[in-house]
Structures are given as structure tokens and as C-alpha cells.
Structure 1
């Protein structure tokens, strides 16, 4: 997944309703769209628009069974977020380690 796709994922998750949908699907697994509408304080068409954004961002998958549409979180999308976060965590930890070393060197200078 490239940076544009990653931006789309973060943009999709920046909306509270979409974030809540992903959280719910992660907790309970695959659900029909009707269950997501029942639990939300918004209309069915609004949920459909949110699900479309999540699908286009690659966060959720959809499968049809008769007239029902079932949605589930795509683990590979979440892995991409996790990988990006871990990569950036290493960047910050390395920077903090350098600051700590510089402060220790400075302290040694003051003590001598």
C-alpha cells in the first residue's frame, strides 16, 4: 500500500462514525449492513455512504449473500497501519535515544 492509499485509510478513519464501524467489525466480526444501521443513530443511506468510503479505502470488504451485504474488516489494511506506526515509532525512539546520549554527554562535560 502506497502513501496515497495510506492517506485514504487515515482519512476514512478520521470520521467518528466510520471509526466506530471499523471498531465494531473488529470486535464482533462480519455483520450485515442492516445490523450496522440498527446500532447507529443515523439513517441507512448514511451508513451506506460511510461503508462505501471504508470499502474504497480498503478498510472493509463486502460480500453478498442473496439480497444482504455483509461487511468485515480487511486484516491487511490494519496490518499496513500497524506497520506504518511501528516504522514511525522506531524513528522517534532513535531520535529520543540520540537526545538521551547528547544529554548524558553534556552532563559528563559539566561534571569534569
Structure 2
């Protein structure tokens, strides 16, 4: 399953109400490290289908979601389980580091 783009209206339905753990990638079009991570997020999303959902929020288009969770730098990844943030990671990662972080956070 590919990463899902969400907005302020569907964030709670897709993320906080999910029974499956969710990784939210807060990103922006102008963010170089965000662009570097995007293919890794897509690959991990496919690789871990059923175990975790990968969701993307463009903070320029939907700033209220980022503000709600105190996002100050990009990229920022938040792990949600049971509607609550259980892990946070700031900055770009390669595919292996991303996979390791997700597995540790599950």
C-alpha cells in the first residue's frame, strides 16, 4: 500500500482512529531532506503493508495538523498507536534506519 496523503479534515479518521499503527511524515515541497526520504517511505509502506500505515501531511498546505503536534522542523515522523503519539523522529533517514525505527517503535 502506498503512503496516504491526508489533510486536516481526514487526519483523525485515518490516523488517530486507526487500529493499525500509523507513521505520519510531516513534510513540505521545498524541503530537500523530505524529498530524499519520500522514496524510502513509499518502499517501507509497501514492505510493511498490514503492519503499519504510512501517512504524509504537507505542512504548507495543512499547517494546523503540524501545529497540533508541535512540529517545528522537517521532516518529522510521528508514530501513532491507539490514537496517541508513541515515538518521534526528526530529520532524514535512509531506508534501513527508517525501517529499524519503525520496527523498534511498533
Could you say whether these structures have the same fold, taking a TM-score greater than 0.5 normalized by the shorter chain as the test?
A: no
Higher relative contact order structure (alpha carbons within 8 Å, sequence separation ≥ 6) = 2
Task: Normalising by structure 2, report the TM-score.
Answer: 0.28
Task: Normalising by structure 1, report the TM-score.
Answer: 0.27
Relative to its length, the structure with more strand (as a share) is: 2
Structure of greater Rg = 1
Relative to its length, the structure with more helix (as a share) is: 1
